[in-house]
Amino acid sequence: MCALYPGGPVKKTETVSYRIPSDVKSALKEEARRLGINPNALVSQIFNRHISWGRYVGQLKCIPVSKDFLRLVFGSMPRTEVEKVGRLLGESAAHEELLFLFSRITPGTILLFMDLWASHFDAWDHRYEGGKDFFTVKHDVNVNFSYFMKAYVSAVLRSTLGRSVQFEAMSPNSVTFIFESPLNKLADNRPLNNAGSNRGSKGLMGINRNSNSLNNRPEEAAVMH
């Protein structure tokens, strides 16, 4: 599962050398053997996970929580409250996180943020087709969490891009949604709501065209509002 955009460059690999403690090397080899993959593939997964999501966990003050905890919390909340919380966070916290990560809110940084948000769930897919962005996110929590995600995503995109979101599928395990892509207007790439100073953030057309790593710890999720 990954983010795919038209015209993206072919992914290249390079050989690099790092010095690590011998016990770390042994642990990596043992983990790769347990997973049935090459140690190089495991190290690439770890690096990709850090670059796509892990490096932001501390910056955004996220904490890991078990899915059992999320199931208990969201399962005990009325759906109206779940949707209210999702809307509030999508209209407030998401704006703060966008500005913190990218210094400005533009069509490009919003899509980068959506990819980052989706990448910390169990599995996800983002495709651009026919002028629309298609997201599928598998969370495996419960149906109330799906409604939370619907309210959150709708609030984020409505309050930043002015986009309405169409939810094609919702289940206790996943959501699928579609919206008109801001890629169609990225040539303009002017700041949107709550624009801040530009600290060198790049538009989506310049970066993040290749695969993003998945969260390989399905029973633990980092909470990002």
Residue 119: predicted pLDDT: 84
Residue 179: predicted pLDDT: 94
From the options 3.40.1130, 3.90.1520, 3.30.505, 3.40.50, give the CATH code of 63-222.
3.90.1520
Residue 87: predicted pLDDT: 96
Q: Which residues of the chain carry a pLDDT beneath 50?
A: 1-2, 4-9, 187-225
Residue 185: predicted pLDDT: 60
| Other residues' Cβ atoms within 10 Å of the Cβ of residue 11 | 8
Decide: helix, strand or coil at residue 12.
Answer: coil
Residue 122: predicted pLDDT: 84
Residue 188: predicted pLDDT: 43
Residue 193: predicted pLDDT: 40
**Whole-prediction pTM:** 0.70
Residue 17: predicted pLDDT: 87
Residue 135: predicted pLDDT: 96
Long-range contact pairs involving 8-17 (C-beta distance under 8 Å, separation at least 24): 8/209, 8/210, 9/209, 9/210, 11/210, 11/211
Residue 51: predicted pLDDT: 76
